[in-house]
Structure 1
Amino acid sequence: MGWNTLDDMELAGKRVLVRVDINVPVENGAVTDDTRIRRLVPTINDILTRGGKPVLLAHFGRPKGKPVPEMSLRPLVPALQAAFDVPVSFCADCRGPAAQAAVAAQASGTVLLLENARFYAGEEKNDPELAAEFAALADVYCNDAFSAAHRAHASTEGVARLLPACAGRLMQAELTALKQALGSPARPVAAVVGGAKVSTKLELLGNLVEQVDHLIIGGGMANTFLAAQGIDVGKSLCEHDMAEIASGILAKARDSGCAILLPSDVILAREFRAGAENWTATTDQCPADAMILDAGPETVARITAVFAGSKTVIWNGPLGAFEIPPYDTATNAAARKAAELTREGQLISVAGGGDTIAALNHADVADDFTYISTAGGAFLEWMEGKILPGVAALETRKTESAC
């Protein structure tokens, strides 16, 4: 694998500093969605079962290096306690005498939550002194926050180089799934990239055309590629100033042997609102006063045929304006086909990104994909082929002796 997991670590009697992502929505002092918290349960249970003491280190919001009461982690204690089913104590600091005293007083079979690491400016600056203070609180470092692994912060990169380090169960699952999808995938590999703008996913597209066999481009960014080929897209969302770059990506795909799939038919409307009149047409039949809001049935048939002939699918972004029916039709149909093939054992399907998760939940198929990443920026940077500092720091520890 290239990095240690909890299986490689001696945990009995050890203080385990666990970097977690509990940046969850809170309203009126209560957690409204505990999904990220529940996904930590396997790691916490494993540490407790093997006699370790989990000390949670996390961030919340963007306090910009100073204490902000509204961004304290204290309100999360009840949700953590409910998920872990063990006592959870809270320390109003994450460094210094208070944190040291809290760690020293922690009883076996309990969890300790430290205050927001971003209350210190040194966190996002990867300050060596702050990383050393974090390291002084524990015997073992466990990173279970893949969603923060693309940041070289004191709690994700700095401290990992100062203690025997490993990936938690959530991080392990994420890295395993991503390696399965692009690192050493079963081929053919198809990638779905949707969303509004080409400009936000240039590095992603540039990397994928050299990694996958089929690249399916949807959403607003597909309009930019159509326009680059001289097709009039009317009032559609389109970055006309990106035409030359889009043409370059198409040329790079041809050189790499990657087949690009763009819409051949589309759903058109003159207004973007629920109930507006809409119709299906080929891509070259968009009136000047209309806009493309979804891929058409012919395009969906081509996409599902690619899925049926693939072994791996990576998905980031919807195919249309799925928030308003019927412009969710293409995304729903393609997602359900990928889910069906996954259930039948014919396809490995990995998806990630906020809009992607919302779209797959909307299609009611998220549970049927092989793996759904909630990592957001880290997932995108991994798809772009970038080295993630939080993962690289764990990899450097593999050659060293575990606790």
Structure 2
Amino acid sequence: MEKKTLSDISCKGRRVLMRVDFNVPLDDQANITNDKRIVEALPSIKTIMESGGRLILMSHLGRPKGKVVPELSLTPVAKRLSELLDAPVVMAGDCIGTEAMQQALALQDGEIMLLENLRFHPEEEKNEPEFARELASMGEIYVNDAFGTAHRAHASTEGICHYVQPSVAGYLIEKELKYLGQALNAPERPFLAILGGAKISGKIDVLENLFDKVDTVLIGGAMIFTFFKAQGYNIGKSLVEEDKVELAGHLLQTARDNNIRMLLPGDVVAATEFSADAETLTVPIDGIPDNMMGLDIGPQTIDTYSREILQAKTVIWNGPMGVFEIEKFAKGTIAIAQALADATAKGTISIVGGGDSAAAVMKAGLASGITHISTGGGASLEFLEGKILPGIAALND
């Protein structure tokens, strides 16, 4: 998916509309608790400003559901961005309308403004053409650098491209396409995928798309128990998708038919309840007591999976190995993150697919040891499923 990027255009003296993902976490006092998404957009922002572009940023924040929710204003983001850039950031009172347009037209070369929350308008998520056209009228160039929303056909991601040209990718999207695309289309081998999380239903399309690409798949998270149920094991009180047991058996057979090594845990950490205070027991997968549930992969599996990771040349990871939010069930996920960082240090290309996996890597303090951590959980998942992302498909080839 070769797309035009910031490097292919000149921004000097032109109004540049850029979609960013500033959907940052806020505390009760509207203070930003993690500015990573703002920091990730800085390379594109600085390039446009330093080249003399007149930059108009647009983003959503939270889920205001088409209504003005003062607590979800982007004003704190404008303040933080101004601090990071050491430059003033004009904050618009809305994302469309006469006032916002006047502020955009008043920008000089190298200046920057931020439009108010796009999702204060229901037309944004509905991708209404008139709303997209009004957004587009503020700029002469469109740049999408919000990979986290690229899987949504919204007015600011897909609709806008019909009304402003050129429409190109920012550096962050370019980086996402480079690493995710290369892994799927021309990986260095052995190519290993690690898939975790609670449910098979959320990973079916990923598995099926990866089956003709990967050499080995490591499975973790609660979805292992649906596979084990398909094999006839007693899984105690462990989470299972009863309506997916037959499918799990089919996926195991498909892996065998395609000579794909699909590894499941050999042991698990079990507990009587989903609690930080619960007593735990490490058991082989065929030895889960009736009154217990598996909540993490066990030490034997950690050892096996770590060795597999260290032998791979390309690794994609999406989904935790256990209930990593609770410390006593986080060991498997943290150990996988450490093995991935160790492999990366030896030259492996490691890609973490956003969401919980990215959070786990951050929690373990290992982010700097990974080749690429995706900024879009849902978008990276759909990319791995082989789906077309509307916000990227709409950009100029």
Task: Tell me the TM-score normalized by structure 2.
Answer: 0.95
* 1:11 counterpart residue number: 11
* 2:42 counterpart residue number: 41
Going from structure 1 to structure 2, the CA distance change for 1:372 and 1:96 (only over 3 Å counts) comes to same
* 2:130 counterpart residue number: 129
* 1:391 counterpart residue number: 392
Q: Give the letter for the 1:322 counterpart.
A: F
* 1:278 counterpart residue number: 280
Q: Give the letter for the 2:17 counterpart.
A: L
Q: For residue 177 of structure 1, report the CA deviation from its aligned partner.
A: 1.5
Distance in 1 (CA, whole Å) between partners of 2:71 and 2:309 is 46
Q: For residue 301 of structure 1, report the CA deviation from its aligned partner.
A: 2.2
Stretches of structure 2 that go unaligned for 5 or more consecutive residues are none
SS of 2:56's equivalent in the other structure is strand
* 2:167 counterpart residue number: 165
* 2:259 counterpart residue number: 257
1:145 aligns with 2:153: no
Distance in 2 (CA, whole Å) between partners of 1:281 and 1:191 is 25
Distance in 1 (CA, whole Å) between partners of 2:269 and 2:357 is 20
* 2:117 counterpart residue number: 116
**Larger mean Cα displacement after TM superposition, 136-145 or 64-73:** 64-73
SS of 2:206's equivalent in the other structure is helix
> 1:54-65 alignment to 2 at 5 Å?
54-65=55-66
Q: For residue 150 of structure 1, report the CA deviation from its aligned partner.
A: 0.3
* 2:336 counterpart residue number: 334
Distance in 1 (CA, whole Å) between partners of 2:273 and 2:58 is 48
**Superimposed CA distance per residue, residues 252-300 of structure 1 (whole angstroms, 9 cap, x where no aligned partner):** 2223332111011222233333354323222111111122122222222
SS of 1:284's equivalent in the other structure is coil
Q: For residue 187 of structure 1, report the CA deviation from its aligned partner.
A: 1.7
Distance in 1 (CA, whole Å) between partners of 2:122 and 2:326 is 42
Q: Give the letter for the 2:263 counterpart.
A: L
| Contact 2:21–2:148 (Cα < 8 Å) also in 1 | yes
Q: For residue 16 of structure 1, report the CA deviation from its aligned partner.
A: 0.5
Q: Give the letter for the 2:209 counterpart.
A: N
Say which of 192, 196, 199 aligns to 1:197. 199
**Larger mean Cα displacement after TM superposition, 265-274 or 235-244:** 265-274
1:80 aligns with 2:81: yes
Q: Give the letter for the 2:76 counterpart.
A: P
Task: Tell me the TM-score normalized by structure 1.
Answer: 0.93
Q: For residue 119 of structure 1, report the CA deviation from its aligned partner.
A: 2.1
SS of 1:268's equivalent in the other structure is strand
**Superimposed CA distance per residue, residues 1-39 of structure 1 (whole angstroms, 9 cap, x where no aligned partner):** 611111100111111000011111223132222111111
Q: For residue 71 of structure 1, report the CA deviation from its aligned partner.
A: 2.3
SS of 1:272's equivalent in the other structure is coil
Say which of 163, 174, 177 aligns to 1:175. 177
Q: Give the letter for the 1:102 counterpart.
A: Q
| Contact 2:16–2:56 (Cα < 8 Å) also in 1 | yes
Q: For residue 172 of structure 1, report the CA deviation from its aligned partner.
A: 1.3
Q: For residue 143 of structure 1, report the CA deviation from its aligned partner.
A: 0.4
* 1:51 counterpart residue number: 52
SS of 2:157's equivalent in the other structure is helix
Going from structure 1 to structure 2, the CA distance change for 1:32 and 1:327 (only over 3 Å counts) comes to closer
Q: Give the letter for the 1:19 counterpart.
A: R
* 1:294 counterpart residue number: 296
The number of aligned residues is: 395
| Contact 1:94–1:117 (Cα < 8 Å) also in 2 | yes
Q: Give the letter for the 1:331 counterpart.
A: T
Distance in 2 (CA, whole Å) between partners of 1:350 and 1:278 is 32
Q: For residue 391 of structure 1, report the CA deviation from its aligned partner.
A: 0.7
* 1:92 counterpart residue number: 93
Q: For residue 240 of structure 1, report the CA deviation from its aligned partner.
A: 2.7
Distance in 1 (CA, whole Å) between partners of 2:387 and 2:331 is 33
**Superimposed CA distance per residue, residues 45-80 of structure 1 (whole angstroms, 9 cap, x where no aligned partner):** 100111111100111222222333332222322111
Deviating 4+ runs (over 4 angstroms): none
Say which of 226, 229, 235 aligns to 2:228. 226
* 1:401 counterpart residue number: none
| Contact 1:30–1:76 (Cα < 8 Å) also in 2 | no
Going from structure 1 to structure 2, the CA distance change for 1:177 and 1:104 (only over 3 Å counts) comes to same
Q: Give the letter for the 1:382 counterpart.
A: F
SS of 2:223's equivalent in the other structure is helix
* 2:360 counterpart residue number: 359
CA RMSD of aligned residues (A): 1.6
* 2:25 counterpart residue number: 25
| Contact 1:86–1:109 (Cα < 8 Å) also in 2 | no
SS of 2:182's equivalent in the other structure is helix
Distance in 1 (CA, whole Å) between partners of 2:339 and 2:30 is 40
| Contact 1:265–1:296 (Cα < 8 Å) also in 2 | yes
Q: Give the letter for the 1:230 counterpart.
A: G
Distance in 1 (CA, whole Å) between partners of 2:64 and 2:71 is 9
**Larger mean Cα displacement after TM superposition, 321-330 or 376-385:** 321-330
* 2:309 counterpart residue number: 307
Going from structure 1 to structure 2, the CA distance change for 1:68 and 1:279 (only over 3 Å counts) comes to closer
1:245 aligns with 2:278: no
Distance in 2 (CA, whole Å) between partners of 1:126 and 1:274 is 44
Q: Give the letter for the 1:96 counterpart.
A: G
| Contact 1:44–1:84 (Cα < 8 Å) also in 2 | no
